Amino acid sequence: MNLSTVIILGIVQGLTELFPVSSSAHLVILQSFLPDFHQPGVAFDAILHLGTLFAVVFYFRLDIHNMFRALLPQRDTTLFAQKENLHLRRIIIFLIIGTIPAAFFGLLFKDYIHSIFESAHAAAFFLIITGLLLFFSDKVKNARRDEKDMNLADSIFIGLAQAVALLPGISRSGATITIGIFRRLNRTSAARFSFLLSLPAVSGAVILESGYFKQIPSSEIWLYFVGFICSMTAGFISLKLFFLVIREARLKFFAYYCWSLGLLTLLFLNR
């Protein structure tokens, strides 16, 4: 593994983790074309995901602060403050419920999922599926519910979508946002809930894979740090751009990209 490879993979992870185009597919496909790339288990992938996790935390730092504050005894007892705290507590409950499916299936099928991550063919195929979800979500015209209208069913369906996104090529943000839109949440609310839902999911995945960190050669630790910084920086930039794009209901453009990359990868690998 060399510096240029680390920088490329870090930037690609940061951009594709938060854009709905599946970072896992990009990493699997790119790594299959990089003969000099080696990592203990999925240690490098986990470090890159940690970078985008930091980007999401920083971007939503005010929301996260408000949710933690809502759990504490409140001094402000006005009706508005009580309603706002009740709303934030409901969101926390929905985030917990939405995290359960991915945690359950991730632990149950950990080895099977790892084996799929070795297949660029599978990643390319599932990338095409992601494209279909994005394309048809743009056809939903009456998605007007916001976060205050969310209910238990919304969190369950979005959580199940996040579990399916354990497969390489199924974009986590793409699957959860589109299911939110299909549930008639407006695009901004679906995206906000999706990214907040990523925090416990990605944290859990990184902790689950942290056993590989002790296998990182001491001579390569600095490369992992560079990858982390590149992933975090690119992730924050992509978040800023994504919220500009999603308001215009243009997820179909990401669908075209997913289809193109998936089909080109399949054609190249089958040559």
Classify residue 216 by its DSSP letter: S
Instruction: Give pLDDT tens digits for 25-47.
Output: 888 788 777 777 777 777 888 89
Q: Left (φ > 0), alpha (ψ -120 to 50) or beta: where does 75 sit?
A: alpha
Instruction: Give pLDDT tens digits for 103-112.
Output: 898 888 877 7
| 95 neighbors 195 (Cβ within 8 angstroms) | no
Instruction: Give pLDDT tens digits for 45-102.
Output: 889 889 999 999 999 999 999 998 888 877 766 777 788 888 999 999 999 999 999 9
Classify residue 167 by its DSSP letter: S
The domains of the chain are located at: 3-269
The two three-digit tokens of residue 181, written as one number: 């839109």
Mean of pLDDT over the chain: 87
Q: In angstroms, rounded to a whole number, what is the distance separating the alpha carbons of residues 59 and 104?
A: 28
Collapsing DSSP to helix, strand or coil, 12 comes out as helix
Q: In angstroms, rounded to a whole number, what is the distance separating the alpha carbons of residues 32 and 90?
A: 43
Collapsing DSSP to helix, strand or coil, 104 comes out as helix
Instruction: Give pLDDT tens digits for 234-265.
Output: 999 999 888 888 877 678 889 999 999 999 98
pLDDT at 76: 65
Whether residue 212 is predicted with pLDDT greater than 70 in this model: the reply is yes
Q: In angstroms, rounded to a whole number, what is the distance separating the alpha carbons of residues 143 and 169?
A: 26
Q: In angstroms, rounded to a whole number, what is the distance separating the alpha carbons of residues 180 and 220?
A: 40
How would residue 128 be classed by pLDDT, with cut points 50, 70 and 90? very high
pLDDT at 263: 92
Model confidence, pTM: 0.85
Q: How many residues does the chain have?
A: 271
pLDDT at 207: 84
Angle subtended at Cα 13 by Cα 110 and Cα 46, rounded to the nearest 5 degrees: 35
CA torsion sign for 213, 60, 146, 255 is: negative
- The values of phi and psi at residue 173, to 5°, are -70, -40
- The values of phi and psi at residue 145, to 5°, are -75, 145
pLDDT at 208: 78
- For the segment 183-206, the average pLDDT, to the nearest whole number, is 91
pLDDT at 127: 92
Collapsing DSSP to helix, strand or coil, 145 comes out as strand
- The values of phi and psi at residue 118, to 5°, are -85, -5
Report how far apart, in Å, the C-alpha atoms of 83 and of each of 77, 78, 80, 102, 205 are: 10, 9, 5, 30, 33
